[in-house]
Amino acid sequence: MKKTFGHKLTIVYVAILTVLTYVPILLTVIYSFNESKLSTVWNGFSLKWYRELFRDSDLWEALLNSLILAGSSCLLAIVIGTTGALGMHGRKSKADKAVAGLSLMPIMIPEIILGMVFLAVFSFMNLPFGMLTLIIAHTTFCVPYVYSMVKARLVGMDKAYAEAALDLGATPVRVFFDITLPLILPAILSGAMLSFAMSFDDVVISIFVTGPKVNTLPIKIYTKVKTGVTPEINALATIMLVITALLLVGAAFINKIGVKEKSEKGERK
């Protein structure tokens, strides 16, 4: 009886989750192909809003800014997050645990609070608001994704490979590039894809730290939505949804490959 009730409760939960989360996304995708300018009235299938979207030079400029921002933040996050995970690996003191916990704080603090903090700090430093402040802010909340992925990968990595290479005369630099880096590469790529997706989609923090001359794609969408949701915005949201989904699927796939390789090596031992 309990099993039946639990099964019914699971079905209800999945149904509610589907309605609240996926139905609005599905409607956004469907109405991006709507002939009518009104998003609430279906007037036939059409690709004209995608054509209008590709003719909008301001949106293309915003897209380029978002790609530059996400790419720069992602690269910096890879360097900082990977070196941080390598430096903290194997350390077990209370201070080191506190530092490790603080490293994950940027993704636990509400975005609006983080944006206000960045605004205050950049204003105090007299930094000109624009691409530089955007990159610094985005790198800050992207680092934890790379750090956590690489750290988890290092926990399951056998130290015997590096120790054997050192015993055979390899330098620490050679050991890193020939042994450590290939083993943690799936985690780095997985964290990088998540970082890119989070940076590319961010709007709350970006509003606080951007300048008048720099517009990102999420901010552009937010500005346009204030005057009403049009099929052109639905088309843009659909494209962003596809890009983000591909990045997240790619990150999960790479991480799965890394876990599979790890299990295969364990079985061979």
Domain assignment present for 162: yes
Q: How confident is the model at residue 91 (pLDDT cuts 50, 70, 90)?
A: low
Domain assignment present for 21: no
Dihedral sign, CA of 5, 8, 12, 14? Answer: positive
pTM: 0.74
Domain assignment present for 3: no
pLDDT digits 0-9 by tens, 35-71: 877 766 777 788 888 888 888 888 888 889 999 999 9
Residue 37 phi, psi dihedral angles, 5° rounding: -75, -20
Q: Which CATH number fits the domain that encloses residue 116?
A: 1.10.3720.10
Domain holding 246, by residue range, is 49-268
Domain assignment present for 225: yes
Please state the domain count of the chain: 1
Domain assignment present for 89: yes
Domain assignment present for 145: yes
Domain assignment present for 199: yes
pLDDT digits 0-9 by tens, 162-192: 778 777 777 778 878 888 888 888 889 888 8
Domain assignment present for 158: yes
Residues 6+ apart with CB under 8 A from 255: 149, 186, 187, 190
Query: Is 216 in contact with 65 (CB distance < 8 Å)?
Result: yes
Query: Would you say residue 255 has pLDDT above 70?
Result: no
